[in-house]
Amino acid sequence: MSSETPIKLGFVGLSARGWAASAHVPSLAHASLRSTFTLSAIQTSSSASAATAKETYAKSWPPLDGAEVKTYHGNDATDIANDPDVDVVAVSVKAPDHKAVIDKAIAAGKHIFVEYPPGKTLAESEQMRADVMKNGKIQVLVGLQSVQSAALRKVKKIIDSGKIGKVISTTVIGNVPRETRIWAPEAADNQIYALDKANGVTVLSIVGGHQLGSLIHVLGPFASVSAISSQHYPNIDIFSSEDPTKVIRSVKSNTPDHYSFAGALKSGAHVSVTWKTGYKTTPGRQQLLWLIDGEEGSVKFEAEEGVHGKSLMNISDPTSVTVNGQPVDEYIKAEGIEWVEDPAFVVEEHEKGTFFEFTRREWLEFSKSLRGGKGEFATLDDAIEVQKVVDAVERSAELGGLGIRLI
């Protein structure tokens, strides 16, 4: 693709509302990317929702060439994948449905964006990678968007510079508050699919997975892991998404709501992680604590009490990111570490540290690679590295904490 030609997107799962609408459209439709990506086709579950989405984006994200956005509907992505006016198939449907769409995109030889996790299981993702490798021209961006956080990238640069010395250990404590209503003990009725372990969207695989993506990006892959899990909330109250005060019914939980695991990274650093869900956001309760301890210094990511969204690093930066007790930006300045952002990357002040920043940068980096350059973005390999750890944690916990070797 030439640098002048817009990259044409066929978006599967882009409706007028939802994650793709709230996160990806504001990033892709921003003035800084409007000449880079253009919307060519939309596929949703029904013809009515596809038509509504088309009408919505005709105003907020009109095609560059004035062409009419094509609409498709249903569960079969064959037609949108084979559309000659689609360069990239963007997959933003529920995780259990990823593979069916991706298989069609691979068969059509199209580049792919897919939300994390690419496959609902490690085996599915590994099969996707094998299929992609048979067609060496296909590039895949996976939505592990927290790796695009400026704060995280600054911390990685500090660690890579050797400023805090050799990293000896890292500790993560994370909480998904009850108020999010996705997992136990309270869930909204439009999130019920996330309660079934078979769908690959448990608190460990999603929230824990995104956090692991950040950890591995900064510190490198795991070498071993040993885990325990427990279920403190055997029943889950299902609330109406239309009336959040109304409990519709109660269902049995089939997944743990607490995980603790320890192990070693390939570098030799020790790792200790605890992920939990179900606690109310109460005064003094910390939502996220991530410590990275080097011989010469330390890094701390912290989300203060009452800011439950800040525990999800793929959604926003934690409340506080410090190095040796100093805010990361002050530390970089004091230590004379050069930090220059790509001038092509534009983020508004109110977007800094949010998923708008993260998703816009991942699309910018993907465009560089699609146009023959070198972009920095999460790939299938990166996602599989995360899923290997998630899979090992689940297996170890089922085996009573048996250690699992990963390399």
270, with CB counted inside 10 A (0-12, 13-18, 19+), is: middle
Whole-angstrom distance, CA of residue 9 vs CA of residue 87: 6
Confidence (pLDDT) at 72? 97
**Whole-number Cα distances in Å, 62 to 39, 50, 165, 296:** 7, 15, 50, 52
Predicted TM-score of the model (pTM): 0.96
CA distance 181 to 169: 33
Q: Which two tokens stand for residue 339?
A: 């930090």
Pairing of strands 320-323, 326-327: antiparallel
Virtual torsion, Cα 73, 76, 82, 84, nearest 10 deg: 10
Q: Which pLDDT does position 284 carry in this prediction?
A: 86
* Cβ atoms < 10 Å from Cβ of 147: 25
Which ranges of the chain have pLDDT less than 50? none
> What's the number of CA atoms in the CB half-sphere (13 Å) around residue 369?
21
Per-residue pLDDT tens over the stretch 108-148: 999 999 999 999 999 999 999 999 999 989 999 999 999 99
Residues 6+ apart with CB under 8 A from 4: none
pLDDT at 301: 97
Q: Before 185, cis peptide (omega within 30)?
A: yes
**What's the rounded Cα separation, in Å, for the pair 231 and 19?**
29
